[in-house]
Structure 1
Amino acid sequence: MTDPTESAGAAERTQELENQRVERVARKVELPWAYELAAAWSWRFLVIAAAAGLVFAGLSYFSVVVFPVVIALFIAALCAPLVSGLQRIGLPRKLAALAVVVGGIAVVGLLLAFVGQQVADSVDQLSGKVAGGLGEIRNWLRDGPLNASDSQVDTWIEDAQSYLQDQGKGLAGRATELGVAVGHIFAGFFIVLFATYFFLADGRVIWGWVVRIFPRAAREKADSSGQVAWRSLTQFVRATVLVAATDAIGIMIFALILKVPLVSAIGVLVFLGAFVPLVGAFASGTVAVLVALVAHGPIVAAIMLGGVVLVQQIEAHVLQPFLMGRFVSVHPLGVILGIAAGVIVAGVIGALVAVPLVAALNAVVQHLASFADPEVDDPEVDDPGDEVPGGEDPEPADPEIAAEPT
């Protein structure tokens, strides 16, 4: 008779040998650990990239609505202290917001009317200068190094006129597209107008509704992150306004000294252009150089160019480090990459909104990181993201779009 115990032991050994054989076969076909890790990262990255692509596609499709709302946020960040001040003297918040919006429209309208009047008064003088300058160019082509004959000069002028006429026909053929663009501009203006009013009047209610979209467990951190992002955006907009005003005043002073026409129009253009970081004020300042060239010749234009460069150097080495470095901790490389990405995604408007969005995102990331790493929060560091104590959950409070000035 066979011992049952020995039979059971033999069966266990047989099963163990079979398991070892299966394991050896499996090891022969399994991928190295590095490939498995790379594959795991790859498919997750593809999912995230696809989701981001869908988000950008949606934003691009609804750009007529999205960008006016973002611009309204920036305007609300700038005008919030005015609304709070009117509210402190006893004016209801909705009425204070309406007064600020109407007053802002009136100020912008008066400014544009003043600039338009100055441009209209200077058109005749500048047109005469342009005609004289074209005559000088014609004489230079004939008597200068090119030594062109009158027939050659006439041929070049006719070619230029033909090119301009062809471009004009192309523009006329695209009249429908132009009409659609004008319609979008008007629609965007009214969206900015109404969105600014409601952000100023009902910011707390709007943000409370946004917070309730998040899961209940995440509402507290979503709420505090929104407050941090709003503080960063507010500080950025105020610092940008100070920098833009300084650029405009500096270039206007040089234009006044050199007696360049259209000083007020140049100042307004430089002020608006300075909202595009790094390149906006310089690009708009070149208009002052061109006006100086037309009005007073190349020497005055060269001096005006030196003034524009000097103002830009003061901005880059004094104002930007002092204001942006103090209020918004974004590395210059982040600024450049943000502008480049904004231009690729949405052109000039993308460049306008890219840096403040990067600043707000940076503040939110630092704030959320402080929950995971208490050492990130350092009371000695002057950083917008450190205003909420790291390691402690902030008390939930709806961040008011029209917040009190910090």
Structure 2
Amino acid sequence: MLTGEPTAARAAGARPRPSPRAEIPRPLRIASEACARMLVIAAGFALLVFLVIELRVVVVPVAIAVLLSALLAPLVRWLHERRVPRGIATALVMVGGLAALGGLLTAVVSTLVDGTSQVVAEVTDNVGSLQGLADATPFRIDVGVLGDQVLQAVRDNQQTLTSGAVTTAATVGEILAGFALCLFALIFMLHDGRRIWGFVRLLAPRARRSRVDVAARRAFASLVGYVRATVLVAIVDAIGIGLGLWATGVPFVLPLAALVFLGAFVPIIGAVLTGAVAVLVALATEGPVTALIVLGVVLAVQQLESHVLQPVLMGRAVRLHPLAVALGVAVGVVVAGIAGALLAVPLLAVLTAAVRSLVASREVAPRAVDPLRPREANPPPALPG
């Protein structure tokens, strides 16, 4: 009888009760499901960002090690192709890089120490010209009084500054630990990068492993191109602005050129900040006329970078729209400060190359599967190590 009741109800013309899903309009249901999925994705992304920020002492050094491996891996490979054992090649590249870095830091510090007294004297002599420049503005600014107020503020807050320096001891410890971790990770990436990737590749599904392998190779090739192009742009910026500073007689040419070189690794923001520092040093030491000349040199070098070097070098290495670069740098600064600005564009370049490789229909070659295989027919770019 129970099984016959629905049949009898349908025979009597009773209409079936609609399901709750059918009562929701289709557009609203689609929009709500899409929003629910977006919320899940946003929660996962927020969790990832939270973990990266909490583990920044580990994540940032490893990320910098990856950038350095993209720069130094071709040198290790070049030595290894000339029958130099990989361990010796890695040691030579690491020792050479550390020696170059140490020599640059020594030259910068010695220049700063030797020229401090000269700069103080020049700033004192140029206070009059700076006061004349301030009087020409509609604002009433007394440069001498302003300098005395700054010195007095430093004296009044000497205890606070000292306690702050003690507090930053933990930060110095983090920096040293991060440097050691970066150096340790870089050594193994240069020496054994392929085997490390071979293990990480096993995390991908077996059916997609070959495609993921090629995507990683394409992404690393994009990273290598980005680092090379950035180094070339930084060298041109440092040489151009350094020559301008030397020709105008501005002190601290080497430290300012080194600062410009480092600032070029932070797109958009770095060039502006380092150029402003060079102009301010010229204004404080040589006066407003020299500062205007230095400003012209900085603007000329930056125009050369933005209209010639960036399109030619970066355009070939990384296919990113300028708006994507600007937004990436802005988000990186908000999330992780200077480290975020430094790593934002390389991360975008790697993700863009990987996504393009994954969505390509004919990207994976049958033999381009094993990253440990030395020779392949039409292989994708090699990974470090």
Mark yes or no: TM-score above 0.5: yes
Give yes or no for the alignment of 1:63 onto 2:45.
Answer: no
1:10 deviates by 11
Aligned residue type for 1:93: R
1:191 lines up with 2:178 in the alignment: no
1:334 maps to amino acid: A
Cα distance change of structure 1 residues 319 and 157 upon mapping to structure 2, 3 Å threshold = closer
Determine if contact 1:243/1:274 at 8 Å carries over to the other structure.
yes
Aligned to 1:104: 97
Question: What does 1:76-87 correspond to in 2, within 5 Å?
Answer: 76-87=69-80
1:31–1:220 CA distance, 2 compared to 1 (3 A): same
* Partner Cα distance (1:107, 1:179) in 2: 27
Specify the alignment match of 2:351 in structure 1.
Answer: 361
CA gap 1:164/1:395 in 2 versus in 1, 3 angstroms: same
CA distance in 1, matches of 2:111, 2:21: 83
* Contact 1:248–1:270 (CA under 8 A) maintained in structure 2: yes
Q: Percent identity?
A: 41
Aligned to 1:6: none
The answer for the alignment partner of 2:238 in structure 1 is: 248
Give per-residue Cα distances to partners, 1:25-67, cap 9 Å, x unaligned: x489711001111111111111111111111111111100100
User: Partner residue of 1:15?
Assistant: 10
SS in 2 for 1:174: helix
Alignment of 1:315-354 (within 5 A): 315-354=305-344
One-letter code aligned to 1:133: N
2:374 matched to which residue of 1? none
CA distance in 1, matches of 2:297, 2:133: 28
2:301 matched residue in structure 1:
311
Contact 2:280 2:291 in 1 (8 A): yes
Q: For residues 98 and 37 of structure 1, do their structure 2 counterparts lie closer, same or farther at Cα, with a shift above 3 Å needed? A: same
Residue 400 to residue 196, structure 1, CA distance change in 2 (3 Å) = farther
Q: Is the 8 A contact 1:203 1:400 kept in 2?
A: no
User: What stretches of structure 1 of length at least 5 have no aligned partner?
Assistant: 1-8, 372-388
Q: Return the match for 2:125 from 118, 132, 156.
A: 132
Contact 1:142 1:153 in 2 (8 A): no
- After superposition, give the CA deviation of every residue in 1:187-215 in whole Å (9 maximum; x if it has no partner): 11111111111100000111011101222
**Count of matched residue positions in the alignment of Structure 1 and Structure 2:** 374
Distance of aligned partners of 1:203 and 1:19 in 2 relative to their CA distance in 1, 3 Å threshold: farther
When residues 135 and 16 of structure 1 are mapped into structure 2, their CA distance, relative to the original with a 3 A threshold, is: farther
Q: How far did 1:265 drift? A: 1.4
Equivalent in the alignment of 2:197: 207
Q: Secondary structure at the match of 1:329?
A: coil
- The partner residue of 1:72 within 54, 59, 65 is 65
1:395 to 364, 368, 376: 368
> Displacement of 1:177 after TM fit?
2.9
1:292 touches 1:301 (CA, 8 Å); kept in 2? yes
Provide the residue aligned with 2:227 in structure 1.
237
Say which SS state the counterpart of residue 120 (structure 2) adopts: helix
Gaps of 5+ in 2: 372-380
Question: What TM-score comes out, normalization by structure 2 length?
Answer: 0.88
Preserved contact between residue 282 and residue 309 of structure 1 (Cα < 8 Å): no
Q: Are 1:282 and 1:308, in contact at CA under 8 Å, matched by a contact in 2? A: no
Residues 278 and 67 of structure 1: CA distance in aligned 2, closer, same or farther (over 3 Å): same
CA distance in 2, matches of 1:174, 1:294: 28
1:133/1:177 Cα in 2 relative to 1: closer, same or farther (>3 Å)?
Answer: same
Partner of 2:279: 289
How many Å separate the matches in 1 of 2:278 and 2:145?
A: 32
Q: Which has the larger radius of gyration?
A: 1
Work out which of the residue numbers 86, 90, 96 in structure 2 matches 1:93: 86
Matching residue's letter, 1:237: V
CA distance in 1, matches of 2:133, 2:348: 50
Aligned-residue offset at 1:176:
4.5
1:402 deviates by 1.8
Structure 1 distance, partners of 2:80, 2:101, is 23
CA change 1:52–1:131 in 2 (3 A) is same
How far apart are the structure 2 equivalents of 1:291 and 1:10?
Answer: 94
Report the TM-score when normalising by structure 1: 0.84
Distance 2:60 2:344 in 1: 11
